[in-house]
Amino acid sequence: MSTYTLTYFNGRGRGELTRLILVSAAVQFEDVRVTWPDDWPGTAQADSPLGQLPYLTIDGIKITQSLAIARLVAKRFNLAGSDDLEQAKTDAVVDTITDLQNAFYLVAFKDEPDALIAKFIAEDANTHLERIEKIVTLYGTEGYSVGSSLKWSDLHLFDITSTFLALDVNILDKYPRIQAVRRTVESNDKIQAYLKDRPETSF
């Protein structure tokens, strides 16, 4: 049995996807939440492989880069797809969602983000959401982004679109397949229990 320690800030950000994967697979893990300015930068940054968070420690080995981490645990716990082509489709969905996440982070963490965020929601978000709707329609079935069983791409879709729904409750109105995937994730027993208990954080 491997031991897993996830080290990230006290927030969802780039750490939440791996938390959701481990939770849905019912895998025990240590959820280390680094606070700043007490721990970060300080010793916590020195301990991280590239001076960044998150990283995952598996049996003493540190793996960095949030998607590399997430893919590893998704594969180990059968959430990545049943063959290499399905895994490629899952990777493609994940990357399309990450394009939205990265574009948003470019504006969201600036000093005075409110106007930039409003502009992003009004102008840029839909370009990305249309692509996500398109790719899950291409590769998935009703309620699943790829194939017909839960994948890490469903969890990533849920995680990232949750942020946008909090900014605009109607933002997914035009995207029924995205909504269907969200319902699948929300109605998953283990995820439901986790979502009730997880800390409320600002990001």
Partner 1 sequence: MPSYKLTYFNGRGRAELTRLIFAAAGAQFEDERVADWPGTAKADAPLGQLPYLTVDGVKVPQSLAFARLVARRFNMTGSDDLEQAKTDAVVDSVSDLQNAYYLKVFKAKEDRDAVVAQFLAEDAVSHLEKVEKIVTLYGTEGYSVGSSLTWSDLHLFDVTSTVMTLNANLLDKYPRIQAVRKTVESNEKVSAYLKSRPETPF
Task: Return residues touching partner 1 (CB under 8 A).
Answer: 49-52, 58, 61, 63-65, 67-69, 71-72, 75-76, 84-85, 87-89, 91-92, 94-96, 102, 131, 134-135, 138
Residue 58's beta-bridge partner residues? 4, 61
**Is 40 or 77 the residue whose CB approaches partner 1 more closely?**
77
65 closest CA partner among 103, 111, 14:
14
Contact 125, 105 (CB under 8 A): no
**Is 52 or 192 the residue whose CB approaches partner 1 more closely?**
52
**Is 43 or 127 the residue whose CB approaches partner 1 more closely?**
127
**Is 125 or 135 the residue whose CB approaches partner 1 more closely?**
135
Q: C-beta of 65: minimal distance to partner 1 in Å?
A: 4
Token pair recorded at residue 147: 């194939």
**Is 15 or 188 the residue whose CB approaches partner 1 more closely?**
15
Q: C-beta of 189: minimal distance to partner 1 in Å?
A: 27
**Dihedral pair phi/psi, residue 55, rounded to 5°:** -140, 160
CA distance 176 to 159: 17
Q: C-beta of 47: minimal distance to partner 1 in Å?
A: 13
Q: C-beta of 58: minimal distance to partner 1 in Å?
A: 7
Q: C-beta of 171: minimal distance to partner 1 in Å?
A: 19
91 closest CA partner among 103, 79, 101:
79
- 58: helix, coil or strand? strand
On the CB side of 13, CA atoms within 13 Å amount to: 22
